[in-house]
Amino acid sequence: MSPAIQDILRNDCKRLEAALELDSGSARIEVQCLLQAVLQVNRAWLFTHPEQPLDADQLARYTALLERRLGGEPIAYLLGEREFYGLTFKVSPVTLIPRPETELLVELALQRIPEHGAYRVLDLGTGSGAIALSIAHARPDAEVVAVDASAAALEVAQFNTQQLGLGNVRLLHSDWFSALRGECFDMIVSNPPYIAAADAHLAQGDVRFEPSSALASGADGLDDIRRICAQAKAHLNANGWLLFEHGYDQAVRVRALLQQSGFAGIFSARDLSGIERVSGGC
């Protein structure tokens, strides 16, 4: 007889905890998410049908997903989506998985973008489009240009743009600024690669499955940030802002790079963990 939902939750939560060193709450949420995906139900349905058994096909599909998760594959890739800034985004192994700490970058950008009126925003290395589309959704009067060097990532961003029904976004295949042909913007935002190429974290956790080109950037992790800082002024209107995410221990060096590139009003902002996560200047 196939196991019931309550049996699966009890047994597989423990398996995830042991295999991935998750806390019990996170493990339970992940098992619930896998069950929801297979059964095509919401979480409330799971709560009200604990004794419902899975049929043979459902159990096979659930078991396949669980085994992939036990092997470390990110839950976002298994489900094919991730929530970010109140919106749902398609994700795949060709894009980074949007993370809660990156919402700080969106919040800081929106603080500086007027609610109404023309305003041009550039998102460098857009990936799934999470940053660009969150800004475009919150500021429908703004024009948002999102670029990425990966054509595959842009296909994901295009899907998300259509799903969200956004008409104020333009996607462009570009290696940072290379295809912008002198265009200027009121704000540039980015979550660029910023991990050192030899960092041990690249072989741990979810990042093992994410595109390395979107994670690592030279010996100290700052190669792409140097390039962005050096070239951004040529693409910013007067008093335009550059805001970007960086590593937990890079804020001092990043502020120096901004200063060297002629930026003023330089600052770093802390995320909910108290880490200086986003820096910028104008």
Number of compact structural domains in the chain: 2
| CATH code: domain of residue 35 | 1.10.8
| CATH code: domain of residue 105 | 3.40.50.150
Asked if residue 264 and residue 197 are part of one domain, the reply reads: yes
Strands (DSSP E) contained in 78-226 are 81-84, 87-90, 120-124, 143-148, 169-173, 185-190
Torsion, Cα 31 36 39 45, to 10 degrees, reads 110
| Structural domain span for residue 150 | 94-281
Predicted confidence (pLDDT) at residue 123 exceeds the cutoff of 80:
yes
Asked if residue 261 and residue 196 are part of one domain, the reply reads: yes
Asked if residue 203 and residue 172 are part of one domain, the reply reads: yes
| Residue-level pLDDT at 196 | 95
User: From the CA atom positions of the chain, what is the Rg in Å?
Assistant: 21
In a domain, 61, yes or no: yes
Asked if residue 208 and residue 100 are part of one domain, the reply reads: yes
Span 6-41, pLDDT tens digits: 999 999 999 999 999 999 999 999 999 999 999 999
The answer to whether the beta carbons of residues 113 and 135 sit under 8 Å apart is yes
* pTM greater than 0.85: yes
The answer to whether the beta carbons of residues 137 and 72 sit under 8 Å apart is no
Confidence of residue 206 (pLDDT cuts 50, 70, 90): confident
In a domain, 89, yes or no: no
| Residue-level pLDDT at 3 | 95
Asked if residue 150 and residue 57 are part of one domain, the reply reads: no
Asked if residue 186 and residue 46 are part of one domain, the reply reads: no
Asked if residue 188 and residue 135 are part of one domain, the reply reads: yes
Asked if residue 163 and residue 44 are part of one domain, the reply reads: no
Asked if residue 188 and residue 154 are part of one domain, the reply reads: yes
Asked if residue 119 and residue 55 are part of one domain, the reply reads: no
Asked if residue 269 and residue 134 are part of one domain, the reply reads: yes
Asked if residue 266 and residue 173 are part of one domain, the reply reads: yes
- Burial environment of residue 234 by CB neighbours within 10 A (0 to 12, 13 to 18, 19 or more): exposed
In a domain, 126, yes or no: yes
| Residue-level pLDDT at 80 | 97
Point out the domain boundary residue: 15, 38, 72: 72
Distance CA 151, CA 84 (A): 22
Span 90-110, pLDDT tens digits: 999 999 999 999 999 999 999
In a domain, 138, yes or no: yes
Beta bridge partners of 147: 124, 172
Beta bridge partners of 145: 122, 170
